[in-house]
Structure 1
Amino acid sequence: MTLLVAGIIVFIATHLLRPFAPDLRARAIASLGKSGFMAVHGIVSLLSLVMMAYGFVLARENGGSVLYQPPVFMGHITLTLMLISSVCLVAAFLPAGYIRTKLKFPALAAIKLWAFSHLLANGESYSVLLFGAMLAWAVILRITLKKRIASGEATLPVFVSVTYDLIAIVLGVALYGVIVLKLHEWLIGVAPLVM
C-alpha cells in the first residue's frame, strides 16, 4: 500500500500548494515561469494519478482488511451517483450553463460524488484510504476556493447558455458508458457491471 499512500500524498500536496503554500508556489513560478510551472505541475499530477491507480491495484491484489461490508444495493447507488458525477465532470470543461453556474466548481462536485459513491460500495482498507483521502481533499479545496472567491482572488462562472447543459448531459452519459462498459475494467481490473 506504500505506492498508493505516496501517490495520494503527492497528489494532495501538489493540489493544495495555492491555498496552503502560496509563497512556495510563487517561487516555483518565478523560477520556472508560468508555463514551466504548469507543465511540471501537470506532469507531477499525472504521475501521482498513475501511482494511485497502480498502487490501488497492487493493494487490492495483496489484500487488505475489510473495515465494513456494504450491502449489495450500495453498488446500484454508486452507479447512479457516477452518472451524475460524469455529467458534472464534463460540465466543468464547457462554458457555463446552469449546471456549472449552480455547482460553481463542477469538477470538485464530480470528485466528491466519485469518492463518496465509491466509499458506499467499497469497505476494504485501501479503498477507504483512497476514496476517503480524495473526498477530504475535495472538501478542503472547496472551502479554500470559497475563501478565494470572497477575497476576490477567484471568480465564479457566468451563465452563457443552456446548450452547454445539454452538451454536458450527452457527453457525460457517453463518458459514463465508456467508463462502465470498458474503461473501469481496463484501468482498475474490476467491471462495475456484471453481465
Structure 2
Amino acid sequence: MTLLILGLILWIVAHYFKRLAPDLRASMGNPGKGVVALLIVVSVLAMIFGYKWAPFIPVWFPPAFMVHINNLLMLVAFFVYGMSATTGRLRGKMRHPQLTAVKIWAVAHLLVNGDLASIILFGGLLAWAIGSVILINRAEPDWKRPKPGDAKKDILVVVITLVMFGVVAGIHIWAGVWPFPG
C-alpha cells in the first residue's frame, strides 16, 4: 500500500509542479520537462505495482449491476478524452476534456471497486483532477473557446472511442480482470 500511496503523491507533485512553482519549473528549461516526464513514468509504475501488490481490504461491496454503469461511463470517458484532440465541431465544447475524462474514469472505477487500495488510487486521482481544474482556472481564468471545425472529424472521435474501449478491455482481460458482466 505504501508504494501505491507514494506513486500517487509523486504523480500529484509532478503534475502540480508547473502550477505551484512556475518560476522554478521555467528556470529548469527543457531538461525540466524530461525530469517531470520521468517522475510521471515512475509514479505510474509505482501506482500500478503498488495497486497490484496492495492487500485486498474490503470497504464496501459494489452491486453487480455497477459493472454496466462502469462500462457506460468508460465509453463516455474515452469519448470526452478524445474531444481534446478533435478538430471537429466538438472542439471547444468543454474547457478541460482530459481532466473531465479522468474524473469520469475515476468515478466509474470507484463504483465497481470497493477495496481500500481502489479507493485510495481512484479517489486520489479524482481529487488530483478536481484540484488540477481549480489550479488551472485560477491561473488562467480567461479561456478562449476554439472555433468548431468540420463535423466529420467528430465521427473519427466516435470510432477511436470504440477502438480504445476495446483495446483497454483487452488489456484488462489480459491482466486477469474481466470487465464485462457475466
**TM-score after normalising by structure 2:** 0.90
- Look up the match of 2:105: 114
Q: What is the count of residue pairs matched by the alignment?
A: 182
C-alpha contact (below 8 Å) 1:12/1:137 kept by paired residues: yes
Among 113, 124, 149, the residue aligned to 1:160: 149
Q: Is the 8 A contact 2:64 2:181 kept in 1?
A: no
Q: Select the residue among 122, 129, 139 that pairs with 1:131.
A: 122
SS in 2 for 1:160: coil
Kindly report the root-mean-square deviation, in angstroms, between the aligned alpha carbons of the 2 structures: 1.9
Structure-1 separation of matches of 2:32 and 2:87: 25
1:155–1:8 CA distance, 2 compared to 1 (3 A): farther
C-alpha distance in structure 2 between counterparts of 1:122 and 1:146, whole Å: 31
Q: Which residue of 1 is the match for residue 45 of structure 2?
A: 50
One of 173, 176, 180 as aligned partner of 1:185 = 173
Alignment counterpart, residue 72 of structure 1, candidates 64, 67, 83: 64
Aligned to 1:170: 159
Conserved in 2, the CA contact under 8 Å of 1:185 and 1:192?
yes
Unaligned runs of 5+ in 1: none
By how many angstroms is 1:106 displaced?
Answer: 1.1
Higher helix share: 1
Mapped contact 2:67–2:180 kept (Cα < 8 A): no
Q: Is the Cα contact below 8 Å between 1:91 and 1:164 reproduced in 2?
A: no
Report the alpha carbon displacement of residue 194 of structure 1 after superposing the two structures with TM.
5.4
Look up the equivalent residue of 2:15 and give its one-letter code: H
Rounded Cα–Cα distance in structure 2 between residues aligned with 1:77 and 1:104: 25
Q: Does structure 2 conserve the Cα–Cα contact (< 8 Å) formed by 1:101 and 1:159?
A: yes
TM-score (normalised: structure 1): 0.85
